[in-house]
Structure 1
Amino acid sequence: MELRNGTRRQLVLRSGRRSCKRSAGMKRDAGKVLKSLQVQSSDSGDASIEEPRFTLGLSRNPSVVLAPRYNLLREVGRGSYGTVYEAVARKSGARVAVKKLRCDAPEKVELALAEFWALASLEKKHENIVHLEECVLERNGMAQKMSHGNKSSKQYLRLVETSLKGERIPGYHEEPCYLWFVMEFCEGGDLNQYILSRRPNPRTNRSFMKQLTCAVAFLHKNNIVHRDLKPDNILISQKFGTPIVKVADFGLSKVCAGYGCAERGSEALIEKNVNINNFWLSSACGSDFYMAPEVWEGHYTAKADIFALGIIIWAMLERITFIDGESKRELLGTYIRQGSEIIPVGEALLENPKMVLDIPQKPRSLMSNVIRRLLYDMLAVNPDDRLDAFQLEHRMDQVTCAT
């Protein structure tokens, strides 16, 4: 088997293994605005509500004057996940990213709620995780700020029920709901754009390796498995001059909440230091070229994130790319060449667990032996032999200092 640089090679990404399909975003004029409005009634009929309400676009009541919250400037991204806009917060003038997801089918609701639950579950901010400012639930032009576990909102409860049951709620045929995620704006684009538009920079590579490792370790410490780590989902912020990595897009993430709860008599004991690597997942989802061998089988742990990160780092260091046949974009990603075919590393290792990866791939590579050994330990075919996020964090400190 042979590894080759796939730059400029035409390739259609296979997404059949991705169990959660992203919903296509609906078009919206950039001139529209998100506006706020206090109302006196809620879904339950209660006259008092805890959360402020919002309305999208122009008010249907001409006698009501609305204060704009965000001005949508332009569309910056569109795909099966939805539509992302660059926007400006009216009060502060700060630039933000606004992502709109249509919730008109169970699989789309599941993706939207997974992202909300993952970001909302983080009690602390992390420099390398995209920050969620707020999430707004919209239907029929009116919208409500989302709060986790909001039992007073029938719309939120309907979304949760739809996600849990995996089917539409009988008798619920109203206009589709939308979830609007307001997040920090990353002006540096994604990792593909940032790396491939610049000359190779060893210092930037080392910084990104360490930042990405810190981000994944933070997620795993908070019992979150990302499950879709790839360059498209890694954004770059340049607000303060130095590029800062931001892991984003948590639509396929899994919050392993409740794991570690044990019954003893009538008391429920909650372990504070839960080993997320003991929590087994079964939904074979992700993006083919970054999926670990065990994900293809549908029986894996958080260590699948480490495999995906290994593929990303390897591709970033040696600039191994391919062309996505659908978007025509050049993407960072490592793969195996078998005859006339190129297939994901994880799939190849699943078919041949004894296969030895050629790391580094390029004959004149400047990759050090310490990084080479690190990549082997991140891409081990057996998850038991693979580093976990906390071991990787320790090793990465040593590697970045040594190089």
Structure 2
Amino acid sequence: MEVQSVKSLAETYGLISGNRNIIFGKYEMGRLLGQGTFAKVYYGRNLNTSESVAIKVINKDHVREDGMMEQIKREISVMRLVRHPNVVEIKEVMATKRKIFFIMEYVRGGELFEKIAKGKLKEEVARKYFQQLISAVDFCHSRGVSHRDLKPENLLLDDDGNLKISDFGLSALPEHLRNDGMLHTQCGTPAYVAPEVLRKQGYDGAKADIWSCGVILYALLAGCLPFRDENVVKMYRKVFKAQFEIPPWFSSDARRLVTKLLVADPGKRISIPAIMRVPWFLKGFTRPTAFTIQEPGQDNLDQKDDVNTEANLVKTKSSPPFYNAFEFISSMSSGFDLSSLFENKRKSGSLFTSKSSASVIMGKLESLAKKLNYKIVGAKEFALKMQGVSEGRKGKLTVKAEVFEVAPEVAVVEFSKSAGDTLEYKKFCDEDVRPALKDIVWSWQGET
């Protein structure tokens, strides 16, 4: 009986090879971690690295029927933009005809809500979570992203007790602003939503997020919500007036900060830069560094080339790499890899076809680097790496450009970011590369 129960347990967790559920030959799916209306989340393991991951599986038909595909695309796009130590990392997105698979960081510590449900936290513990929350929200806002559904249920904790923001399904990007420069969609969880959102008028998503952060800080310190009533209408009235009571155990500094966060008038509400100057907030605060993850195609020019492999590129000394037709078609369409959804409408073209010769293209690329005052830090016969001189948000922007031959009269030029900030790279592609190379471009990726 005991042997049978162990075997059943092993089968449940996918440990027995005969019962292994492998997707895309790369990830092993295990137990169900949770599920919502449109998705199920499973524990997973990367077969190459043995890294634990969370795999969110979405049924395409369900999201299409409910008109949710744009929301799914937006969530992918946003999560790729906001890579930060206190934001759940999205590793990659893949799909079949019927399902979409989000491969995400596995955060095993549970929701922050579970801690609050047990009662108020010590002030120093609450402060640590609030510092990490504000740091991540500030980074999101710097990327143009408003979360719009910040609440303890969407704040996860890792093994070290560090906070991770999750669930960007209701987030907003600059393209969601109307002509008045404001957001107008009512969304979020009532107890955490800012009064201006409830009024059905235009609102600033960043300021609305700050209100939600105020509600969360109050809940951390008090063990309950600031606006609560069995009657929802009465609760809303309290929200509109920012009418709440502060428990006597709040320190004077914490009390002062909460009252500046929960201000009904968004114009008078404290800003994140001001929050980060408050002595109470600064106590023991270390600003985390947002990180950049090496993306596919962003290999180092200094690395040794693979020779005579089954790769799609074949190089000779007298000609540029040959771009296999399958690789070319795959790169110009979404295929099974949904990377094209990552940037959505914000995607910058990083791949174009040209009828110019490889030598002419390389000459143009070198002229581009010189014109922009970029330093060429690595060069090969049909590839070069250029680096900006100014320090950006994540250091100097470094861009690699490589020329591939598709046919005797057709070449593909691919740009990729080797280092630096993603938004600065997008700006580089849109404002510098496109105008400078327009006379040799036949077609940009994604354009008809």
Give the aligned partner of residue 69 of structure 2: 109
Q: Which has the higher contact order (CA 8 A, sep 6+)?
A: 1
Alignment match of 2:186 (pick from 271, 280, 284): 284
- CA distance, structure 2, for counterparts of residue 211 and residue 402 of structure 1: 12
Would you say how many aligned residue pairs link Structure 1 and Structure 2?
265
Report the CA distance shift for 1:346/1:215 in structure 2 as closer, same or farther (over 3 A). farther
Alignment match of 2:110 (pick from 189, 195, 204): 189
Give the aligned partner of residue 132 of structure 1: 90
Alignment match of 1:386 (pick from 261, 269, 290): 269
Give the aligned partner of residue 437 of structure 2: none
The yes-or-no answer on 1:315 pairing with 2:303 is no
- CA distance, structure 1, for counterparts of residue 189 and residue 213 of structure 2: 12
Task: Report the residue type matching 1:96 in the other structure.
Answer: V
- Unaligned runs of 5+ residues in structure 2 are 1-11, 286-448
Q: Do 1:76 and 1:86's aligned partners in 2 also have CA atoms closer than 8 Å?
A: yes
Task: Report the residue type matching 1:399 in the other structure.
Answer: F
SS at match of 2:215: helix
Task: Report the residue type matching 2:259 in the other structure.
Answer: Y
Report the CA distance shift for 1:33/1:394 in structure 2 as closer, same or farther (over 3 A). farther
The yes-or-no answer on 1:35 pairing with 2:23 is yes
| Match runs of 1:96-245 below 5 Å | 96-102=53-59, 103-105=63-65, 107-122=67-82, 125-139=83-97, 177-196=98-117, 200-238=121-159, 242-245=160-163
Tell me the alpha carbon deviations over residues 282-334 of structure 1, each in whole angstroms, 9 at most, x when there is no partner: 000111111111111232112111111111111111111xxxxxxxxxxxx44
- CA distance, structure 2, for counterparts of residue 253 and residue 345 of structure 1: 24
Q: CA deviation at 1:114?
A: 1.6
Give the aligned partner of residue 324 of structure 1: none
Give the aligned partner of residue 335 of structure 1: 227
- CA distance, structure 1, for counterparts of residue 119 and residue 43 of structure 2: 23
Give the aligned partner of residue 92 of structure 1: 49
Give the aligned partner of residue 401 of structure 1: 283
Report the CA distance shift for 1:345/1:384 in structure 2 as closer, same or farther (over 3 A). farther
TM-score (norm 1): 0.60
The yes-or-no answer on 1:72 pairing with 2:60 is no
Give the aligned partner of residue 381 of structure 2: none
Report the CA distance shift for 1:211/1:78 in structure 2 as closer, same or farther (over 3 A). same
Task: Report the residue type matching 1:136 in the other structure.
Answer: M
- CA distance, structure 2, for counterparts of residue 79 and residue 236 of structure 1: 20
Alignment match of 1:82 (pick from 26, 36, 39): 39
Q: Do 2:23 and 2:29's aligned partners in 1 also have CA atoms closer than 8 Å?
A: no
Tell me the alpha carbon deviations over residues 158-212 of structure 1, each in whole angstroms, 9 at most, x when there is no partner: xxxxxxxxxxxxxxxxxxx432111111110111124445883333211101000
The yes-or-no answer on 1:306 pairing with 2:235 is no
Q: CA deviation at 1:106?
A: 5.1
- CA distance, structure 2, for counterparts of residue 258 and residue 249 of structure 1: 18
SS at match of 1:383: coil
- CA distance, structure 2, for counterparts of residue 35 and residue 402 of structure 1: 44
Q: Do 1:189 and 1:236's aligned partners in 2 also have CA atoms closer than 8 Å?
A: yes
Name the one with the larger helix percent: 2
Q: Do 2:192 and 2:215's aligned partners in 1 also have CA atoms closer than 8 Å?
A: yes
SS at match of 1:182: strand
Task: Report the residue type matching 2:274 in the other structure.
Answer: Q
Alignment match of 2:196 (pick from 275, 280, 294): 294
Q: CA deviation at 1:248?
A: 0.6
- CA distance, structure 2, for counterparts of residue 312 and residue 35 of structure 1: 38
Q: Do 1:289 and 1:343's aligned partners in 2 also have CA atoms closer than 8 Å?
A: no
State the superposition RMSD in angstroms.
3.0
Give the aligned partner of residue 239 of structure 2: 349
The yes-or-no answer on 1:373 pairing with 2:256 is yes
- CA distance, structure 1, for counterparts of residue 151 and residue 87 of structure 2: 14
Report the CA distance shift for 1:83/1:35 in structure 2 as closer, same or farther (over 3 A). closer
Task: Report the residue type matching 1:392 in the other structure.
Answer: I
Task: Report the residue type matching 2:33 in the other structure.
Answer: V
Report the CA distance shift for 1:199/1:292 in structure 2 as closer, same or farther (over 3 A). closer
Tell me the alpha carbon deviations over residues 339-369 of structure 1, each in whole angstroms, 9 at most, x when there is no partner: x53668555333xx3x642123xxxx42111
- Unaligned runs of 5+ residues in structure 1 are 1-27, 37-67, 140-176, 260-277, 321-332
- CA distance, structure 2, for counterparts of residue 188 and residue 256 of structure 1: 32
Report the CA distance shift for 1:377/1:200 in structure 2 as closer, same or farther (over 3 A). closer
Larger Rg: 2
Q: CA deviation at 1:34?
A: 4.3
- CA distance, structure 2, for counterparts of residue 312 and residue 283 of structure 1: 22
TM-score (norm 2): 0.54
Tell me the alpha carbon deviations over residues 88-130 of structure 1, each in whole angstroms, 9 at most, x when there is no partner: 11111111111122332353212211210101234xx311011
